């Protein structure tokens, strides 16, 4: 184990604005099923609980309920389409790379802890040339548990070669605050991500409005 401080990031809505490609994939499936598209602005807050849940929510908007077997099939089709279009329009949030450079120069290391599948997370970060920045990239399938189960955060930190006491979680939604609280880790939330309730209502330790505020927020928590 190393003693350097580790910042563990959520992916969708925290590091990368993935909504355009996720909603395009959702609308591809909905159109194929004869259902109307979901507007991007309305669907942003449906993201964050994984592909299956996003698809379920998209179907529910039109009052459509399907069998578990049908939902499995649609989810597989969604993932196949999304994987091919994963970085068509998805981009890092403004200021992310400069912030990571700054934090690296102050001896911080990074990991990703997401409810996205690990291989999709890696593919996205590879396409955006971000993967080498992270000591570990872990998804819902990596350890068989999802946020807010604290095991995913504990094991992500361990895989990154760090100690839990040196970790801070950065996310945008309830599962991020939940996993941090259950693991006993401080949590910073961004205000520009995907959440069904105002992020301040989730009571993270700090809310930031831009990535440039991240180092100040971290230093405030570690003083």
Q: Kindly state the DSSP code that residue 165 receives in the 8-state scheme.
A: G
Residues 6+ apart with CB under 8 A from 132: none
Our answer to whether residue 10 is catalytic in this structure is yes
H or E element: which one contains 113? strand 108-113
The 3-state DSSP class for residue 136 equals: strand
- Least Cα distance to 83 among 14, 137, 15, 21 occurs for 21
End-to-end CA distance of the chain: 22
**186-189: Cβ within 8 A, 24+ apart:** 186/221, 188/214, 188/217, 188/218, 188/221
Catalytic pick from 10, 17, 149, 172? 10
Contact by Cβ (8 Å): 170, 9: yes
Burial class (CB in 10 A: 0-12, 13-18, 19+), 197: exposed
What is the residue whose two structure tokens read 């990703």? 112
The residues that are catalytic are 10
């Amino acid at each position: 184990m190393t003693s350097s401080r580790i910042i563990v990031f959520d992916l969708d809505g925290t590091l990368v604005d993935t909504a355009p490609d996720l909603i395009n994939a959702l609308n591809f499936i909905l159109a194929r099923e004869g259902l109307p598209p979901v507007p991007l602005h309305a669907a942003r807050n449906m993201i964050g609980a994984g592909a299956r849940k996003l698809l379920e929510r998209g179907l529910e908007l039109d009052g459509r309920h399907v069998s578990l077997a049908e939902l499995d099939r649609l989810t597989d089709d969604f993932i196949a389409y999304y994987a091919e279009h994963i970085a068509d329009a998805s981009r890092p949030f403004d200021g992310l790379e400069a912030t990571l450079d700054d934090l690296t120069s102050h001896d911080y290391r990074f990991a990703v802890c997401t409810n996205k599948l690990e291989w999709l997370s890696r593919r996205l970060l590879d396409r955006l040339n971000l993967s080498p920045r992270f000591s570990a990239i872990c998804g819902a399938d990596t350890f068989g548990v999802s946020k807010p189960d604290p095991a995913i955060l504990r094991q992500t930190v361990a895989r990154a070669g760090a100690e839990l006491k040196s970790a801070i979680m950065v996310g945008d939604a309830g599962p991020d605050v939940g996993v941090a609280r259950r693991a006993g880790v401080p949590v910073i939330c961004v205000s520009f991500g995907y959440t069904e309730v105002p992020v301040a209502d989730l009571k993270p330790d700090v809310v930031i409005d831009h990535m440039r505020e991240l180092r100040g927020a971290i230093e405030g928590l570690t003083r």
